[in-house]
Amino acid sequence: MKLTKLATIFPALIFTACSSLPNPPPPQAIGVPTRVGPAQGIDLATDASNVLNELKGGRVEFVARYYRNPESRWPALSAGEAQQLSSQGLKIVAVWEAHSRKPAHFSYFSGQDDAMTAYRQARAIGQPAGSAIYFAVDFDARSQWFPSIYDYFRGITAGFAAASGGNSEYAVGVYGSGAVCDAVKRTGLAQYSWLSNSVAWTGSIGYDDWNIRQGGRWPELSFNHDADEARNEYGGFQLPSFNVATSPGSARPGDFTEPQFSQNGPPASATVISSR
């Protein structure tokens, strides 16, 4: 009898307890990042202004373009091209290339001369202070060439100092094999390294201290190019007039503060440029 009564009471008690529980909170929306992993970019020898339609809305986040000797048959990065890339929200990576496939070119004086020419071209387009210019070592350099390559990058430091009146506004990057990138960066002659896609070159397989790594090409782009990926802070830039100012408190780890650049005077203000 008592068991029968308890059997009828327990379901009622359970129902009452369940009905008094609060409603569960609604599911929370979780923001999905637009991209995970390294920044995606390309490098090309020709004027990127001519292919902007293919770059709009795609996965390209930065474009690497070249400063060159005036006699080069290839077009150098111009102010107009840099403005158009910046206006599309693309970052720019500047790289100097001249006789970089010739081991005999690498010496202190050629480095100094290359740096002064690159510096003047960077100033002419308004490249912001704090960003980088990469210098290419575009051959499979073996150990016998390293003393000349070190001298070349010492000349770059001297050339930047001479062109700027002693206070260079640009960081130095090196492009080349894993062995070259490791040696030049580890000795402090370059702050950034860009690993060539020539994986058979000395020290390239297994080199992991790169800021930019070159790959193949993307089939969806019709023009000649190399694909690249960049991670952390890699020395890219946008022209200041196209940068979106960000409050200092909103900067994220890995971002760097890029001074607003004026060709007629010192930096006027600072803009945070994301490294992602």
Domain boundaries, the chain: 39-243
Using 50, 70 and 90 to split pLDDT, how confident is the model at 120? very high
Q: How do beta strands 256-259 and 91-96 pair?
A: unpaired
Angle at 69 between CA 224 and CA 262, to 5 degrees: 95
Q: Is the pLDDT of residue 268 over 90?
A: no
Compute the average pLDDT of residues 88-113.
Answer: 96
Rounded Cα distance between 234 and 215, Å, is 16
Rounded Cα distance between 63 and 184, Å, is 24
The whole-model pTM stands at 0.76
Q: Is the pLDDT of residue 31 over 50?
A: no
Compute the average pLDDT of residues 65-84.
Answer: 94
Residues above pLDDT 70, as percent of the chain? 74
Predicted confidence at residue 184, as pLDDT, reads 98
Q: Between 108-125 and 79-87, two packed helices, what is the crossing angle to 10 degrees?
A: 60
Report the residue count for the chain. Answer: 276
Domain 39-243 classified CATH 3.40.50.1100? no
Reference 148, options 96, 181, 111, 198; nearest CA is: 111
Q: Is the pLDDT of residue 38 over 90?
A: no
Q: Is the pLDDT of residue 16 over 80?
A: no
* DSSP states of 133-187: EEEE--S---GGGHHHHHHHHHHHHHHHHHHHTS---SEEEEEE-HHHHHHHHHT
Compute the average pLDDT of residues 133-147.
Answer: 97
Least confident of 110-114, 191-195, 216-220, 265-269: 265-269
Predicted confidence at residue 226, as pLDDT, reads 86
Using 50, 70 and 90 to split pLDDT, how confident is the model at 55? confident
